[in-house]
Structures are given as structure tokens and as C-alpha cells.
Amino acid sequence: MTKLKVSAFNSMASEYDSWFEEDRGKLIFAIEVQALQQVLSPLPKPWLEIGVGSGRFAQALGIENGLDPSIELLKIARNRGINTFLGIGEKTPFESETFGTALLIITLCFVDSSPKTLVEANRLLKNGGKLVSGLVLRESPWGEIYELKKEIGHHFYKHAAFYNYAEVEMLLTQAGFSIEKVISTLFQKPDKVEHIEPPQQGFSPGAGFTVIVAGKN
Amino acid sequence: MKKELMEILVCPVCKGPLQLDIAKEKEGEIIAGSLFCQKCDHTYPIQDAIPNLLPPNLEG
């Protein structure tokens, strides 16, 4: 991750984290957590979240370890009880075959190199390990909104690169993973999120949040 | 940083072992110190109980 990108997250750490406290933020977060919970419980421990940020997802999901290049976000994550490490997904500071499950929750869009990050995640996983990706896909109504925000120079999204489902599938395959399960949620439109909604099995281009579980080959 | 986490840490660049130097410790947690990679001849600081394991070109 470039210094510029890290600096954006460091300087806006409180603003980023406080989004989760707003009514709309709380609801979206709850919908996304529900989808992730549906796949996580049987997955092998220990767990590592790459791009843990302020530790909101890690705390809600019981993820013990978190890596992130933003020190200001990591300080918040540490206060949430996460084992925190300052570092980047492309070059992590962990022994090979350390973790049972690695998670990339709304992170693949922000890393400098998705292929390197995924190959590195593969290295960190034990045999039988799983990679869980939580994604806003480009073909979804939410992806379209974020693409627009990127174009107008939004302080976070200008640094993002959103992928479509086929691109993610290809990236995962090239990094040595096989997709085992897909969950879709957040079918409400970005300007009209009003209620909690149950996640659905399989990929759907209408979903604002997609969870992909992939196994290490 | 919990001391036992040393078991899983390596240099982010060469993936070699790191030597721990503790400057301040509290209840089994390393609050300040450093991690040295002999092969890269680089020291990674531990501050506020968080190890800074950013590759050297990203340290700020």
C-alpha cells in the first residue's frame, strides 16, 4: 500500500470508524456481519484478518489477529482486543502455514497488488486452510456507486480498485484457491437501506456485499 | 504484543527469523522494543504494543 493511501486512512481513522456508529452504517454492518457469520463458524482457527482496520469486523466475528498498514486504525483495533500487526498484505510478517483461515473483508479493493496479496495469503494458510473474501463487486448497484465516488475523488474510494465476480474468481484461481461457497446479501439499494435482510446462497450481481469462501489447493 | 506471538513472526521481506529486544513489558505483553532481522540488517520497532512490520520502503 502506498504511503499516500496509508496516510489517508491514518488521518481519517476516527471518521472511518465513526461511520459504523451512524444508523445507516450500523444496519449495513449488521447485514454484512450476518452473511460472514453464516460461513465462518466451521472454518479452521487461528484466524487472521488482512486489512483489519479499526477491528470492527474482527471484534464482531471473533477474529483473533489483524494486520493493517494504518497505525491509527490499528490502535483502535488493539483496544478492541485484537492482536495487531502493522504491515501489508503483499509482504506479511508471518511464518508459512500459520493460520487456518485468512479474511479479506472489503480489503482486496484497497491493496496495491491483489495477485501478490492472494499468493501471500495462500502461503500463510495451513493445508486445508480457507480464505474468506468480503467484497463489493463492480457489477452490483453498490459497486457502481463506489466507482462514481472514486471518479469524483472520494478520500477513501479514490484509492480503491473494484473487481467483478469473474475477475475475483480468476485472481483466486491464479493464487492457488478454489471457490467452495458464495453468499450474497445487501440487495437493498444504496440510497434505501431500511431493514436487516437474510443472506442468500450463491453469487448474485444484485447483491451489494458478496462473501466468497475459497479453499487452499 | 503478546510475547508468545514471536513464534509466528518473521521478517516481512526475507521471511527470516527476528531477534526480539524488549524495552518495556507489562503483564506478558511487550509494550516497547524492537525486532531485528540479521539477514536484512533492519530493525522493526515495537511501539504502544504494536510491532511495526512494514517493509522498510513503507516506513513513515
On whether the CB atoms of residues A63 and A9 are closer than 8 A, the answer is no
- Map grid coordinates 517493509 to a residue: B55
Residue of A6, A91, A123 best to disrupt the B interface, most CBs of B under 10 A: A91
pLDDT the model gives residue A154:
80
- Map grid coordinates 483496544 to a residue: A79
- Show residues of chain A in contact with B39, CB under 8 Å: none
Residue of B2, B6, B8 best to disrupt the A interface, most CBs of A under 10 A: B8
Select from B1, B10, B13 the Cβ nearest to the Cβ of A95.
B10
pLDDT in tens, B4-57: 999 999 999 999 999 999 999 998 899 999 999 999 999 999 999 999 999 998
pLDDT the model gives residue A4:
66
- Show residues of chain A in contact with B13, CB under 8 Å: 91
Helix (H) or strand (E) holding B32: strand B29-37
Q: Domain ranges in chain B?
A: 3-58
**CA angle, A39 then A41 then A43, to 5°:** 80
Residues 42-71 of A with CB under 8 A from B: 69, 71
Inform me whether the C-beta atom of residue A11 falls under 8 Å from chain B C-beta atoms: no
Domain count, chain A: 1
- The CATH number covering residue A173 comes to 3.40.50.150
pLDDT the model gives residue A87:
97
Inform me whether the C-beta atom of residue A132 falls under 8 Å from chain B C-beta atoms: no
3-class DSSP state of B59: coil
- Show residues of chain A in contact with B54, CB under 8 Å: 69, 86-88
- Provide the residue range defining the domain that includes A135: 3-216
Chain B: residue whose CA lies nearest to A86: B52
From the centroid of its chain, how far is CA A179? 16
Burial of A101 (0-12, 13-18, 19+ CB in 10 A): buried
What's the complex ipTM? 0.96
More confident residue, B14 or B59: B14
Give phi and psi for A122, each to the nearest 5: -60, -40
Select from A83, A86, A92 the Cβ nearest to the Cβ of B52.
A86
Task: For residue A20, give the C-alpha cell.
Answer: 459504523
Chain B: residue whose CA lies nearest to A99: B8
Number of CB atoms found within 10 A of residue A105's CB: 24
**In A152-206, beta strands by DSSP E:** 177-185, 200-201
3-class DSSP state of A137: coil
Q: What is the DSSP letter of B52?
A: B
Give the gap in angstroms from C-alpha B37 to the nearest C-alpha of chain A.
Answer: 11
d(CA A17, CA B7): 31
pLDDT tens, position by position, for chain A (217 residues)? 566 677 777 777 777 778 888 889 999 999 999 999 999 999 999 999 999 999 999 999 999 999 999 999 999 999 999 999 999 999 999 999 999 999 999 999 999 999 999 999 999 999 999 999 999 999 999 999 888 888 888 877 787 889 999 999 999 999 999 999 999 999 999 989 999 999 999 999 999 999 999 999 9
Inform me whether the C-beta atom of residue A122 falls under 8 Å from chain B C-beta atoms: no
Inform me whether the C-beta atom of residue A79 falls under 8 Å from chain B C-beta atoms: no
List, in order, residues 6 or more apart from A183 with CB less than 8 Å away.
A35, A38, A39, A199, A200, A201, A202, A210, A211
- Show residues of chain B in contact with A92, CB under 8 Å: 12
On whether the CB atoms of residues B21 and B36 are closer than 8 A, the answer is yes
